[in-house]
């Protein structure tokens, strides 16, 4: 099967489950003022069960990325949805992302602006700074008991779970249609 046909066969069912959540939630900001305390810091808004994946400091202040609320996707038992929490000094942004957990076609569907990013992953393969966050989010959604662990240390477990570690990682960008 050609790569584009394989991608279409694995992504189209997932798109049906995320079309509304990604469009509706990806641009949502949770940094709205709390009437009881309008000066709450973003880190004070963290939900129960949040697993922090990265924290860093810039001149603007602290930043963090975490995940929580992993669930089996409604129309595909091989897929999961998870809430990605992006904490910035100015507030918090949320995105609901969908991940395919199958050994044949593991992937992360996410957004950049209005564009859809389809990232085909290789659990058990090489982890670099370029793909580390994708793998951290994938492990948190697909194997929740490994959430927060370094994906580079999970190659052996990935092979035990049926992932070859030899898949080609790639990204496709699906531009948003102009309105």
**Largest alpha-carbon pair distance within the chain?**
57
- Taking only Cα atoms into account, the Rg of the chain, rounded to an integer number of angstroms, comes to 17
* Local confidence band at 28 (pLDDT 50, 70, 90 cut-offs): very low
In a domain, 48, yes or no: yes
pLDDT beyond 80 at 165 = yes
Signed CA dihedral, 139, 143, 149, 151: sign only: negative
In a domain, 46, yes or no: yes
CA neighbor of 79 nearest in space, from 142, 164, 6: 142
* Local confidence band at 9 (pLDDT 50, 70, 90 cut-offs): low
Q: What tokens were used for 41?
A: 């810091």
Distance of CA 10 to the CA centre of its chain: 17
In a domain, 68, yes or no: yes
Strand stretches in the chain, DSSP E: 51-58, 61-73, 76-88, 91-100, 107-112, 115-120, 170-174
pLDDT beyond 80 at 149 = yes
What pLDDT is attached to residue 80? 97
Domain count, the chain: 1
In a domain, 60, yes or no: yes
pLDDT beyond 60 at 7 = no
Find the range with the poorest average confidence among 35-44, 68-77, 93-102: 35-44
Residue recorded with tokens 């897929």? 79
| Mean pLDDT across the chain | 85
In a domain, 95, yes or no: yes
In a domain, 111, yes or no: yes
pLDDT beyond 60 at 122 = yes
In a domain, 179, yes or no: no
Structural domain that includes position 137? 3-174
SS3 143: coil
Model's pTM, two decimal places? 0.80
Find the range with the poorest average confidence among 11-25, 92-106, 134-148: 11-25
* Local confidence band at 21 (pLDDT 50, 70, 90 cut-offs): very low
| Three state DSSP letters for 96-133 | EEEEECCCCCCEEEEEECCEEEEEECCCCCCCCCCCHH
């Amino acid at each position: 099967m050609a790569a584009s046909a394989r991608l279409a066969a694995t992504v189209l069912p997932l798109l049906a489950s995320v079309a509304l959540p990604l469009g509706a939630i990806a641009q949502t900001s949770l940094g709205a003022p709390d009437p009881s305390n309008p000066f709450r810091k973003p880190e004070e808004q963290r939900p129960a069960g949040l697993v922090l994946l990265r924290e860093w400091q810039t001149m603007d202040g602290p930043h963090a990325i975490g995940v929580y609320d992993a669930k089996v996707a409604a129309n595909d038992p091989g897929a999961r949805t998870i809430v990605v929490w992006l904490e910035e000094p100015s507030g918090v942004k949320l995105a609901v992302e969908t991940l395919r957990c199958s050994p044949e076609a593991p992937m992360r569907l996410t957004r950049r602006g209005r564009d859809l990013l389809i990232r085909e992953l290789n659990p058990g393969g090489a982890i670099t700074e370029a793909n580390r966050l994708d793998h951290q989010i994938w492990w948190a959604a697909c194997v929740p008991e490994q959430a927060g662990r370094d994906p580079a240390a999970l190659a052996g477990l990935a092979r035990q779970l049926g992932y070859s570690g030899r898949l080609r990682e790639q990204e496709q960008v699906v531009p948003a249609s102009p309105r």
